[in-house]
Structure 1
């Protein structure tokens, strides 16, 4: 393998103890630094060990050989990341349960993506990887039950190991960068292509008057880049760099290098780019941080002076490397390449399920490839979810050649018991899944929302050349009809709010009912939620939620002295419930603020600290200092106590009733409610 410059995959399949022992024997037989990746560490192991969720810190490192223990579950992002760290001549030893029972083995990794309380079996993903592995003649198998099977490598040209200088491909790009005047340069490459080395060479050879600065999601992942930079690049953590740029425009800095840019929030990237005359962004074709090609289409489309750079030739291993090819096939890294180069007009919309996807490879590759290209933060975790997460359904738009030109991904939500729905509303429980349904309860006032049955549009994509032709609206219109036929209460969507996006969803029939109070780190936008209500319960929910949303917006815009002039009025049932949730449970200040303002209109509600915050706009830090409190948690607890005292002063009977209701000592729907109004 070393002579050919290639790497191979060795599957050890059997009982966990047997697989582990054989793998240990292999590490002793063949010299190397043998990275071991497993959830449970091995005592007295002489080489580096990492848990799957920690391997991201190893990106940019290089190892000879690795063991990946997948006997309890397959962490797909870690698998692809580790494969990219192995040098030529390496083995990747993958430990799997008994081959014939793989599809019956609960996968512990499913807890990250299935939104289920217990690990689930993953038969569709197992069917997919079995098909790919069995078709690959370069994969080596060693089974506890059936012994070793494998073939010698086919004869190929001897590999010339890099001599430490730049390759012809790197040198060509480097010459262009060294002559750059201004602009943003985006370097996209697969792992092992030398993009970090190229970025380091740029810093080392730059002859301009200014410095070169470097930022990346993790400093540990830029070791290779810094070695090539020969000490001529200064590293900044992304948050610290942005803070520095906002405080003072960088002076005498010619280049900002952003390594693994797809892993940094887009809003942060745009702001950083605007502060420097020249910027080099590097990103991987597919990996932990998402899709490089999708990054190009989505993020780079917003850049005015963008130059695209590519590195195709691998450096750390030979071209057509067996391990790289195998991992790419397992995790559909090249799925975007399966999309039609000349897509036709929409001819058919078809509903599909997970069973159809796994049994139709062209459909699977094009469906996943389209989602990856349109949503660049799509990662192998999403592939695992696509195959086997419960409650999913899909639809595709096909052209006259049966090629996928549009894709839609739906997730079932709701149906929680009344008791669990109340726990979600109170802030005491947060079960997996149910994004919109839970948000309407926990961050809005709709404690009934999680009980209703709904479906959420999770992803929607149309090939770039056919956008703005009504294709997405056609897919959504069909799903609205399907949702009605299924007897769902409503169809929902959550998205980063922009005026253009909202106009699209509004045109599809959605009503905006909730918006987050803070900008999302990933998009720089406020999270918005909208629904199409069908049932009477959902229509009433939408009406109440829109009213609450508008009141929250009003409070954030109107001058506070006008609010303070409003005469006190009797608290409604909804106010008592909301105020009790704040006082006696874990409802947030933002979710309860409308009712809190109504409470403060009553002179008997003293709430001195809370008044200073809501009416006087005194900052929490000042209130903590003035109150000699230990921190913000103590301040919030003080506010809760103040509200509890105010409710008791207003109406002792109602206060006790709603305190008991919030504490789940009364039924969710209590006949006694009406009698005490």
Structure 2
């Protein structure tokens, strides 16, 4: 029976150039036996099995390493869902099945599966919660899609052998109607070169769809310096192939084309297609070479991103594939190339790469480049209406989007309704789930299928939202952290990683505070505002409501603090690099009140201002850049009790703010020597630590002499660092708009670059626009005059008068 069902599904899939799914539900060993029956019936030339088990006679992958399948295609892929069902792995398996192929899922009994806990659930059990606190909502929803979506066959396996197997659904979609309008349309002609095409006709004849033709035509602009191309597509649309065809055509014209991607396997399709065009014959994408030489001196070569960003040997054009997976800071370095193309996946099985559009596209448009954008929608490896693609998009919410602009335009922040988003409500209301999750996808640079499972099942996270006329206009994911017992805190202090407690983990293990995990915290993991309403105060209003609910607060905000910075949609708790299950959790079991609020994110000047105005204060700046955001990660804390009034949240902030102040005095010339000076200034301004300048008379002589007289900065660099730290922390503290700040923005950058980061005067002068190193140092002396006035002792002020009176 299994063999016949597999043959029927395969036959229908091949006829329609679609894919099919076969679910074998029941005992695991019986499932493997049935899977082998299905494989033998289909007799594929390529099969892959993803399982925690080993020893199969087919290609094997582990669930946590299923990304090895990205960029590859197989006729049959078997996913063992028993011991570790990882949503990310499911997405990668779906993406690896070719048109006409079969995805086989081995699952527990579908009725029982939502109650089963496996090793993936263990990763969601964030202390102090246990695996019994993890729910099965994601699987409940997933099972519903298996039983309702076209193209999915479901077999309940008998406990005593094949005789007890029962076909719940055969998954067949039925014969195609011969009389439909679609079927009467004659097949389109093969792609051909557009009029006046610059690339050879063979480049366009190698295209498989009209979308690819348009993309290759856009890539023609790379032959001229000053042009940039952005190619976006969902997975499986031939984006990399189009880039490869273009790379080959450019090389044939004599150009040196540098290709980069997160890993060579991501760009292997580029080289396979370029090789065919250059004339080295058809090359399999898995064995493609890393350098191709064209007859007239052109070439296509691959380098890893960090090396490629140096633009070695002055390439004529650069193609960045899977650009959304690279840090923005790294992407910006490619803007020094003569011409550049950025290819990125929008809704992919490896995660939605929206951060490219959010964080980088605006910077590209503001650059010197003339930018051409192209999108590919037509699938390459299977038919446009493939039911398995539609099922995967629904099951994993790969296509989740916020409410349409027209539905929320004109909403007033004061009229919005604050509400909880319990996971049961999200499970029972598909539109609510899609809008809330769609906002998170749109606001963040990388949202994966695992994130959907965390939202629905993990016990330490809750969600809150603002709605307008029933539509979600702002959403926040909030993770409970801390409140850990003494034994857990001891293990954390001694180096054990405690999942899901990002802020306590950093403060305890990295900053050596064993008591940091005792207070109860609530971390903003992400906060997102609908893009049509950014700048209208929705993010700030949502935070205010969260503070009032969980902190028992209701105080009025200070003048200038009501609306924050505007574009709240990018705010996110990012922190250090996360492991599986470490970032999210879920559940309405979050404590009603907490000791402090926190956030961790890739620090930018704008985000630092937003969170500072929301009452958060800096306690840490990571010593390495976050791999995803390309920024140093800031951790900020807002105690529930006001500073100075006691309470564990205030005590936590007080000691770590002081430690941050002291750490940065020296760290800025070491780990943070390359940090953006505006980020440094913003992080220090958001530090709540008190400052005191305690200089010796000798040091004051140097400081006053360099400011008001002929003294030299080099005579007492430590004194100048102390004054700089004090000024940057206290600057403008009296009012949020900066009134009373003794330094302007340029002077702050000068203090950071020269005094705190120890940069050479010449490079500082070039960066900040001073006419010479001497002018730069004179400006430094001028910047210290108001600091002497503010912090100077009687001795210092008398020394200042000596120079003033001598003029």
Say whether the fold is shared (TM-score over 0.5): yes
Matched with 1:83 is 94
Deviation at 1:301, TM superposition (A): 2.2
Pick which of 111-120 and 63-72 moved more. 111-120
Deviation at 1:27, TM superposition (A): 0.9
Deviation at 1:372, TM superposition (A): 0.3
How far apart, in 2, do the equivalents of 1:386 and 1:364 lie? 10
Asked if structure 1 preserves the Cα contact closer than 8 Å seen for 2:76 and 2:101, the reply is: yes
How far apart, in 1, do the equivalents of 2:458 and 2:112 lie? 19
Judging changes above 3 Å, is the alpha-carbon distance between structure 1 residues 281 and 332 closer, same or farther for their aligned structure 2 residues?
same
Secondary structure at the residue paired with 1:227? helix
CA distances 1:366-396 after superposition (whole Å, capped 9, x unpaired): 0000100110211112111111111111111
Match of 1:404 among 472, 495, 499: 472
Asked if structure 2 preserves the Cα contact closer than 8 Å seen for 1:203 and 1:229, the reply is: yes
Deviation at 1:289, TM superposition (A): 4.5
Q: Is 1:532–2:573 an aligned residue pair?
A: no
Pick which of 20-29 and 129-138 moved more. 129-138
Secondary structure at the residue paired with 1:282? strand
CA distances 1:312-369 after superposition (whole Å, capped 9, x unpaired): 1111111110111111110001101654544231421111211111111111000000
Asked if structure 1 preserves the Cα contact closer than 8 Å seen for 2:24 and 2:31, the reply is: yes
Judging changes above 3 Å, is the alpha-carbon distance between structure 1 residues 114 and 289 closer, same or farther for their aligned structure 2 residues?
farther
Secondary structure at the residue paired with 1:142? strand
Deviation at 1:455, TM superposition (A): 0.8
How far apart, in 2, do the equivalents of 1:337 and 1:484 lie? 29
Matched with 2:779 is none
Q: Is 1:329–2:397 an aligned residue pair?
A: no
Secondary structure at the residue paired with 1:73? coil
Deviation at 1:475, TM superposition (A): 0.6
Q: Is 1:483–2:524 an aligned residue pair?
A: no
How far apart, in 2, do the equivalents of 1:527 and 1:292 lie? 20
How far apart, in 1, do the equivalents of 2:428 and 2:485 lie? 36
Asked if structure 1 preserves the Cα contact closer than 8 Å seen for 2:221 and 2:228, the reply is: no
Matched with 1:495 is 601
Q: Is 1:508–2:508 an aligned residue pair?
A: no
Pick which of 446-455 and 29-38 moved more. 29-38
Match of 1:177 among 219, 228, 231: 219
Asked if structure 2 preserves the Cα contact closer than 8 Å seen for 1:445 and 1:545, the reply is: no
Judging changes above 3 Å, is the alpha-carbon distance between structure 1 residues 366 and 379 closer, same or farther for their aligned structure 2 residues?
same
Deviation at 1:399, TM superposition (A): 1.3
Matched with 2:452 is 383
Query: Which structure 2 residues correspond to residues 52-131 of structure 1 after superposition, within 5 A?
Result: 52-115=63-126, 122-131=135-144
Match of 1:32 among 24, 41, 44: 44
Query: Which structure 2 residues correspond to residues 563-602 of structure 1 after superposition, within 5 A?
Result: none
Asked if structure 2 preserves the Cα contact closer than 8 Å seen for 1:58 and 1:220, the reply is: no
Matched with 1:283 is 344
How far apart, in 1, do the equivalents of 2:211 and 2:152 lie? 30
Secondary structure at the residue paired with 2:600? strand
Q: Is 1:222–2:241 an aligned residue pair?
A: no
Judging changes above 3 Å, is the alpha-carbon distance between structure 1 residues 179 and 522 closer, same or farther for their aligned structure 2 residues?
closer
How far apart, in 1, do the equivalents of 2:171 and 2:25 lie? 17
Deviation at 1:534, TM superposition (A): 2.0
Query: Which structure 2 residues correspond to residues 518-667 of structure 1 after superposition, within 5 A?
Result: 518-535=624-641, 536-556=647-667
Deviation at 1:448, TM superposition (A): 1.5
Asked if structure 2 preserves the Cα contact closer than 8 Å seen for 1:371 and 1:461, the reply is: yes
Judging changes above 3 Å, is the alpha-carbon distance between structure 1 residues 558 and 389 closer, same or farther for their aligned structure 2 residues?
closer
How far apart, in 1, do the equivalents of 2:514 and 2:52 lie? 41
Matched with 2:502 is 435
Secondary structure at the residue paired with 1:233? strand
Query: Which structure 2 residues correspond to residues 35-434 of structure 1 after superposition, within 5 A?
Result: 35-43=47-55, 45=57, 47-115=58-126, 122-145=135-158, 147-148=166-167, 149-156=169-176, 165-166=206-207, 167-180=209-222, 181=224, 182-206=226-250, 208-230=253-275, 231=292, 232-242=299-309, 244-245=310-311, 250-251=313-314, 253-271=315-333, 273-287=334-348, 289-304=350-365, 305=369, 306-336=371-401, 339-344=404-409, 345=411, 346=413, 347-400=416-469, 402-425=470-493, 427-434=494-501
State the number of aligned residues.
557
CA distances 1:253-289 after superposition (whole Å, capped 9, x unpaired): 2221111111222211111x22312222222222354
How far apart, in 2, do the equivalents of 1:123 and 1:55 lie? 23
Asked if structure 2 preserves the Cα contact closer than 8 Å seen for 1:340 and 1:403, the reply is: no
CA distances 1:417-461 after superposition (whole Å, capped 9, x unpaired): 123323423x33222121112212222243212011111110000
Deviation at 1:73, TM superposition (A): 2.7
Q: What runs of 5+ residues in structure 1 fail to find an aligned partner? A: 568-593, 595-616, 618-677
Asked if structure 2 preserves the Cα contact closer than 8 Å seen for 1:496 and 1:528, the reply is: yes
Judging changes above 3 Å, is the alpha-carbon distance between structure 1 residues 147 and 211 closer, same or farther for their aligned structure 2 residues?
same
Q: Is 1:447–2:514 an aligned residue pair?
A: yes
Q: What runs of 5+ residues in structure 2 fail to find an aligned partner? A: 1-12, 159-164, 177-181, 192-204, 276-291, 293-298, 553-591, 642-646, 671-692, 698-721, 723-757, 759-807
Asked if structure 1 preserves the Cα contact closer than 8 Å seen for 2:80 and 2:107, the reply is: yes
CA RMSD of aligned residues (A): 2.7
How far apart, in 1, do the equivalents of 2:308 and 2:122 lie? 35
CA distances 1:72-112 after superposition (whole Å, capped 9, x unpaired): 23222222122122221111011111111101111322344
Deviation at 1:297, TM superposition (A): 2.8
TM-score scaled by structure 2? 0.65
Deviation at 1:411, TM superposition (A): 0.3
Matched with 1:465 is 532
Judging changes above 3 Å, is the alpha-carbon distance between structure 1 residues 286 and 172 closer, same or farther for their aligned structure 2 residues?
closer
How far apart, in 2, do the equivalents of 1:529 and 1:226 lie? 42
How far apart, in 2, do the equivalents of 1:44 and 1:329 lie? 31
How far apart, in 2, do the equivalents of 1:506 and 1:107 lie? 41
How far apart, in 2, do the equivalents of 1:556 and 1:88 lie? 55
Judging changes above 3 Å, is the alpha-carbon distance between structure 1 residues 19 and 557 closer, same or farther for their aligned structure 2 residues?
closer
CA distances 1:8-55 after superposition (whole Å, capped 9, x unpaired): 11111001011111001111111213433333344351x311112223
How far apart, in 1, do the equivalents of 2:336 and 2:350 lie? 24
How far apart, in 2, do the equivalents of 1:115 and 1:184 lie? 44
Asked if structure 1 preserves the Cα contact closer than 8 Å seen for 2:355 and 2:444, the reply is: yes
Asked if structure 1 preserves the Cα contact closer than 8 Å seen for 2:85 and 2:118, the reply is: yes
Matched with 2:14 is 2
Asked if structure 2 preserves the Cα contact closer than 8 Å seen for 1:109 and 1:119, the reply is: no
Pick which of 187-196 and 139-148 moved more. 139-148
Judging changes above 3 Å, is the alpha-carbon distance between structure 1 residues 279 and 113 closer, same or farther for their aligned structure 2 residues?
farther
Secondary structure at the residue paired with 1:257? strand
How far apart, in 2, do the equivalents of 1:433 and 1:532 lie? 19
